[in-house]
Amino acid sequence: MIFYFSGTGNSAHAAQKLAQLLGDKVKNIADYYDNIYKGVDISLKDEKYLGIVCPVHSWGLAKPMARFLRQVRFKDYEGEKAFCMVTCGDTCGTADKQVKSLLKRHNHIVCCNVYSVQMPNTYIVMKGFGTDADVLRDQKLKNAEPEIARIAKAISTNSDYEHYVRGKKPFLKGRILYPLFMAFTMGDKKFFAEESCTGCGLCAKKCPEKNITMENNRPKWLGHCVKCLSCIHRCPARAIQYGDVTQDMGRYYYKD
Ligand SMILES: Cc1cc2nc3c(=O)[nH]c(=O)nc-3n(C[C@H](O)[C@H](O)[C@H](O)COP(=O)(O)O)c2cc1C
């Protein structure tokens, strides 16, 4: 079973592709959202694989996946191995060490290999960042397919193929910037919908955290955002903005 989290669809696609190549199934961890703080028992009896797929956020695991791995109890999988594949726009810092530690500490499972796949960037809520130019976006999408196939082959043949792009100063980013990001940037007060909002409700429907409700035909953010940016990227009217940062930024989500 491959458990995945995805904001804008890159990781959902990567997980589905990997599962297809491995002959396995996927499970969206957003389906556990309602019960996650009560703790969740998941039996992996008869499962061939335990896989984790999610985006890198600030050089670590996206918050919902880190929370899932802390709260979940995988059963009937003692002594078995797991793998993880993260998607990133650029580099991944210490997401590999984080997933290994969470699986070991909370579930007593050894995560052998962590792979990374570069896909189009979605971080647009800080000046100096932004979506990729069209050529780079298309190149990343093209390159991701054979990379996922190489990863699937490595998993199915138990080979020691490695592909994880840590980037420069991974410990500074993963151990210092990531905790700061988690502690101080999760607020959603800066999100708003412009006049061009049509009230279609797609932002609320697609929010994996159920953090958006529609009030008088306008989105209202409920204060437990995880910064996946699904709402802002998927808005068909480009009406959702974040402070004064995103007006001129591009938008992207994975289109099947
Ligand atoms: C809040 C946030 C933080 C991000 N941080 C990083 C990062 O540290 N390194 C990186 O390479 N990409 C980063 N990205 C880009 C995503 O990891 C990348 O676009 C990913 O494929 C998105 O996956 P998704 O479509 O499944 O949500 C970030 C994106 C967001 C929204």
Same domain, 220 and 175: no
Q: Are residues 38 and 73 in the same domain?
A: yes
Q: How far is the CA of 57 from the centre of ligand 1 (A)?
A: 5
Q: In one letter, which amino acid is 200?
A: C
**Local confidence band at 194 (pLDDT 50, 70, 90 cut-offs):** very high
Domain for residue 218, yes or no?
Answer: yes
Are the CB atoms for 117 and 95 separated by under 8 Å? no
Both tokens of 226, joined, read: 């995880």
CATH number of the CATH domain containing 198: 3.30.70.20
Residue 248 lies in a domain: no
Q: Whose CA is nearest to atom 3 of ligand 1?
A: 57
In a domain, 256, yes or no: no
Mean pLDDT of 71-96: 94
Domain assignment present for 122: yes
Question: Does the CB atom of residue 246 touch ligand 1 within 6 A?
Answer: no
Q: Are 152 and 190 within one domain?
A: no
Distance 124 CA to ligand 1 centre (A): 10
Indicate whether 253 belongs to any domain: no
For residue 230, pLDDT beyond 90: yes
CA distance 36 to 107: 15
9 CB less than 6 Å from ligand 1? yes
The string of pLDDT tens digits covering residues 209-224 is: 999 999 999 999 999 9
Residues 6+ apart with CB under 8 A from 142: none
Q: Which two tokens stand for residue 22?
A: 């491995």
Distances (CA, A) of 119 to 13, 55, 223, 244: 11, 10, 28, 26
pLDDT over 90 (residue 111): no
Query: What's residue 35's pLDDT?
Result: 85
Q: Is residue 80 pLDDT above 90, yes or no?
A: no
Residue 128 CA to ligand 1 center (angstroms) comes to 15
**What is the CA(89)–ligand 1 centre distance, in A?**
6
Indicate the burial class of 62 (C-beta count within 10 angstroms; 0-12, 13-18, 19 or more): buried
pLDDT band, residue 106 (cuts 50/70/90): confident
Cβ(199)–Cβ(217) below 8 Å: yes
**Ligand 1 neighbourhood includes 7 CB (under 6 angstroms):** yes
Tell me the CATH number at 62: 3.40.50
Could you tell me if the CB of 227 is within 6 A of ligand 1?
Answer: yes
Question: What is the per-residue pLDDT for 108?
Answer: 87
What is the model's pTM?
0.97
Query: What's the total number of domains in the chain?
Result: 2
Domain hosting residue 99, numbered range: 2-182
Nearest-angstrom CA–CA distance, 68 and 66? 5
Residues 219 and 159 in one domain: no
Q: Is the Cα dihedral 31, 154, 92, 95 positive or negative?
A: positive
- 6-31 tens-digit pLDDT: 999 999 999 999 999 999 999 999 99
